[in-house]
Amino acid sequence: MHYKLKYQFLFVLPGILLCMNCSTPKNLVNYSRSYIEVGKVMDSVQLPYIVDLSKHNKHLIAAGVSHTYDDNNPQVAALKKLYLNFKPDIIINEGGQITKTFGTEKEAIEQNGETGLVKYLSDLDHKPLINGDIEDSLEFRVMLKKYPKDDLFLYYIMERLVIPHLNGAYGNKPFQELYAKAVQKWFIKEGFPVDKDLQDFEGFKKLYQAKIGHPLELSLNPDIELFDYVNPDCTYCAIGRNSKMLRDSVLLGKINSELQTHDKVMVVFGHGHILAIEPALKKMVKKW
């Protein structure tokens, strides 16, 4: 079926990939907002942040969300209403292909946040939900050509595990247990070359101290700013921006591809991503 297409890629900008067989204009990524600019406005926009674009018979809605697992969050009701009113032909989600089926809306949100919600709704509606993200294995291969593996590993662990954990994303499990599982499932399984000493949390703490200059504290402290992509002048922030732009370029290609064969396309991604690609989406739809 169409939504199982394999995508091919080409370097078009330093650190950025573009989807080739999706008929995406080669300069489309140039229209994206910088993540420095995104950082200045992302805390002030109402969520979900909606980009609603149409031309002729093509209609695209991109919903920018925070990643909440709270089914009482007002964003949940707004996103559900948006979906039910729009009735998309296909939905593109963040965070990988999701195959599980949920028994209730509450269960879906508590387990998979906004992605769980749209999976639950799309199953009821018998509509496909597809992954809009780059495969981790491919992202790692690309990013390892640009950055030392220890710097990349430090950034990814902080951005994908430590900071979400500190914000309550992974429940109350001991962090050392979370770390061991994440390293195996998210990194080693996806082909990231994790040195043996870094497969243990104690090894990661040594890496953190060597790179940052003081011990890791598992708390929301000023060190978090060293890994926030919106900050202009830090090594790991720059790694974060390149990771986001890489993912955005692939997302743009997939959106453009789905608009080739579907009239009503819905995208549900983190609001930072949607703010970044909003100008490119306007450019994309304008060409129809």
Specify the pTM. Answer: 0.85
pLDDT given at position 68: 86
Please, are residues 119 and 129 in contact by the beta-carbon 8 Å criterion?
yes
- 14-36 pLDDT, tens digit each: 444 444 444 444 556 677 899 99
In sign, the C-alpha dihedral spanning 143, 144, 148, 149 is: positive
Specify the DSSP class assigned to residue 222: G
Q: Work out the number of other CB atoms within 10 angstroms of the CB of residue 167.
A: 11
pLDDT given at position 17: 44
The CA distance from 87 to 136, in Å, is 30
pLDDT given at position 10: 38
The CA distance from 34 to 23, in Å, is 23
Q: What 3-state class would DSSP assign to 234?
A: coil
The CA distance from 12 to 90, in Å, is 28
pLDDT given at position 26: 52
Which residues in the chain land under pLDDT 50?
A: 1-25
The CA distance from 135 to 8, in Å, is 12
* CB half-sphere exposure, 73, CA atoms < 13 A: 20
pLDDT given at position 233: 87
Q: What 3-state class would DSSP assign to 173?
A: coil
Quick one: which of 208, 92, 98 has its CA closest to 161? 208
- 80-136 pLDDT, tens digit each: 999 999 999 999 999 889 889 999 999 999 999 999 999 999 999 999 999 999 999
The CA distance from 124 to 107, in Å, is 15
Q: Are strands 90-93 and 58-65 parallel, antiparallel or unpaired?
A: unpaired
The CA distance from 43 to 161, in Å, is 22
The CA distance from 161 to 182, in Å, is 8
The residue behind tokens 């950055």 is 147
